[in-house]
Each structure stands twice: as structure tokens, then as C-alpha cells.
Amino acid sequence: MTAPLFDPWQWIRDNTDDAPSPPPTLAALATLAAPDDWPSLPADWRDGLTRLRNASSHPAAGAETWARLVADALDLADAWAPQAFALGWSAVDLFGVDPDWGRRLDRDGLAASLEGRKVVAVTHDAATLSTRSGGLLRHYRRDKPGSVPLWNVGRFATHGRD
């Protein structure tokens, strides 16, 4: 996940009575320096992951389950999605779920299978996960007809926030 941005000019405005405005050139540079989350991923993935990061919950998932799934998906996007994408993995391969949330676990992509485990390697056809006990688990990439990316489930298909 991306660290929150620190705006020194906002800090000065918030903490002084007579705060100066930033020079226009510095304001322009700050805009250019803003991080571009997941620059090597397709634009629709970036948009979906951003909407997912900003979504508070899903009604069919418990708060804990939803928080874990979102954290796993965003960690996966940060650490492994660019490599997986380069190897041919699709959004559904990585972030897929059943559109009716939880009715068909065989439609789950890698993120929904993590459950807090960490990915340690990705190849063209599988990802290797480390288990809590120190073992290794393989998640094989396979066709998941009917699966949709997590950010296209229910209300998140059209709304970024609830």
C-alpha cells in the first residue's frame, strides 16, 4: 500500500496563523511528484484497485473478511501484480471472485485464496505461497469462467464508495 502523502504547505497552513501560499512552481512540482500507484498495470486494473482501496465494505462479507481480502489484494497488487501481468495473468486470475460473492469458490483468483499468506514466487502457471507454519502452497492459474475482478462485484461495479 502507498504511504499517505505529506504536504508541508498544508502542515504550515494548519499550524501557523499567517501561512504563506506555496510558490506556483513548487505546487506544480508537488503534483508531478505524486505517486502513480501500479504504473505498470493496465489502467482498468489501476482504477479498480483504487476503487477497492477506497471501498469501506461489502454487505455479503463480514468486516474482518472484507478487510483481509482488500489487504491481500492490495499487497498482491503492490508486490506481484506487475510480474504476474507480464507473465500473462489476467485481472480475474489475480483478483477474481464469484459475482454472487462466495457462492463459487472455484472462481476465486489468487488474492481471494491468500487469507493472509504471502506470495513468494510467481510463474506463468502458478504462484507459490508461504504458509503460517513455514510450508509452501501452490496456487495454480486456471480458467475461471464467470469470475469477475473483485472491484466489479455488486455495488463496486459502478460506485467507488458507498
**Could you report the per-residue pLDDT of 133-153, keeping only the tens digit for each?**
989 999 999 888 889 999 988
| Cα(61)–Cα(22) distance, integer angstroms | 44
Kindly tell me the burial class for residue 128, based on how many C-beta atoms sit within 10 Å of its own C-beta (0-12, 13-18, 19 or more).
middle
Residue 25 lies in a domain: no
Residue 92 lies in a domain: yes
Nearest CA among 97, 98, 46 for reference residue 74: 46
Total structural domains within the chain = 1
Residue 49 lies in a domain: yes
Give residue 109's domain range.
43-157
Residue 162 lies in a domain: no
Per-residue confidence band for 77, with pLDDT thresholds at 50, 70 and 90: very high
Q: Which three cell numbers stand for residue 103?
A: 457462492
Q: Per-residue pLDDT tens for 38-62?
A: 888 999 999 999 988 887 777 667 7
Q: Per-residue pLDDT tens for 97-109?
A: 888 776 777 788 9
Q: What is the pLDDT of residue 160?
A: 41
